[in-house]
Structure formats: C-alpha cells, structure tokens
C-alpha cells in the first residue's frame, strides 16, 4: 500500500482513497443523511448528480444508484448496494466494474461519531497511467473528498440544533 502526501485522515491505495471525519452528532442522524442519495451532490463536491434508479424504494441491499462524478470514467455510472447494515454501512460497487466502489461507514464513539468514506476507482495505462492519475485526478479527488466530509460535518451538526432552518433541505 502506497502512502502519498494526503490530508490528515486520508489513506490511499493503488486504486482509491479513504478519509474520515469526526462530528458531534448522533450516528442515526448521520446515517439518515448518508441514505439520502439525491442529496449526495450537496455535500460531496466531486459528484455532479446522484439518484436512486427506483426512487420509490429505500436504500438497501440490492438498490441501484446512478452517479455522475468527476472521478474518471463514464458520464453516468451505475452502482449497486452490495453491503448494507442499517445505521452503519452503505457500500456501493460498480455494476459494470467491480473495481469501482464507494463506501460510507458510520462509527459510533462515546462522545462523537465518525464518517469514513472509501472511494476506489480503476486507473488504466499501467504504471505511467497510475502516475499521471496520482498527479492529477487523485489529488483533486483527495482535496474534494476532504472538503466534502467537512461539509457533511457541518450539515449533521447544524441539523441537530433546535429549529434548524435546513429542515426542507
């Protein structure tokens, strides 16, 4: 596992990265926001759009999600929820490429909670392609993922205040 220069809390692998953010809110509120797929682009800056393929069904094992992102790949990628533990994990794998993965994990701590996001995507072009990816796309994605988790923290901490104005958000 190669560790590159990354923001605090970031871990990188050959095909993706992982970051985490602690927040002062209960895990139930955070997991509810994670399960609102259509709101992901609000707090995840690297997503242009996200939607459940069947909007009438709640997010769960086998749910299909269509994403448009700045991660290298097709214009719209189809993902399927392959791991789901209510209140804890939502993990999506690419429907046409099992090397694409987006995983959200909520960890409950004694006085706070933590969101851990893991994003795996394939790089092509051998060693040279991986090097170019590290210098371009990956750096941008690391930065955007870090900012996204800070934004998530603000949303879940603000939402728990009485009379929050983002109730219709």
- From first to last of the 169 residues of the chain, give the pLDDT tens digit: 333 333 334 444 455 789 999 999 889 999 999 999 999 999 998 888 999 999 999 999 999 999 998 765 557 889 999 999 999 999 999 988 777 899 999 999 878 899 999 988 776 666 665 666 666 677 788 888 999 999 999 999 885 555 544 455 4
pLDDT confidence of residue 81: 96
What pLDDT sits at residue 72? Answer: 58
pLDDT of residue 76: 84
H helical segments located in 35-161: 40-43, 126-135, 137-159
Tokens of 34: 């994670």
DSSP E strand stretches across the chain: 10-12, 16-23, 47-52, 64-69, 77-85, 89-94, 101-108, 113-120
Let me know the angle formed at the C-alpha of 137 by 41 and 152, rounded to the nearest 5 degrees.
30
Both tokens assigned to 145: 């993922």
pLDDT at 75: 79
The pLDDT value recorded for residue 115 is: 96
| Contact predicate 134/4, CB 8 Å | yes
Three-state DSSP state, 60? coil
Contact 46, 145 (CB under 8 A): yes
């Amino acid at each position: 596992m190669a560790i590159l220069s990354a923001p605090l809390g970031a871990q990188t692998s050959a095909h993706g990265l992982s970051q985490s953010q602690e927040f002062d809110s209960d895990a139930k509120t955070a997991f509810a926001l994670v399960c609102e797929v259509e709101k992901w682009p609000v707090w995840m800056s690297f997503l242009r759009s996200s939607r459940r393929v069947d909007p009438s069904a709640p997010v769960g094992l086998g749910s299909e999600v269509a994403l448009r992102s700045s991660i290298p790949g097709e214009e719209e990628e189809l993902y399927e929820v392959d791991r789901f533990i209510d209140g804890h994990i939502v993990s999506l794998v690419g429907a046409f490429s099992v090397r694409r993965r987006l995983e959200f994990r909520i960890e409950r701590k004694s006085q706070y909670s933590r969101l851990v996001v893991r994003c795996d995507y394939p790089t092509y072009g051998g060693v040279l392609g991986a090097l170019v990816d590290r210098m371009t796309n990956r750096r941008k994605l690391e930065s955007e993922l870090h900012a996204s988790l800070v934004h998530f923290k603000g949303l879940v901490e603000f939402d728990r205040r009485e009379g929050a104005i983002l109730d219709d958000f």
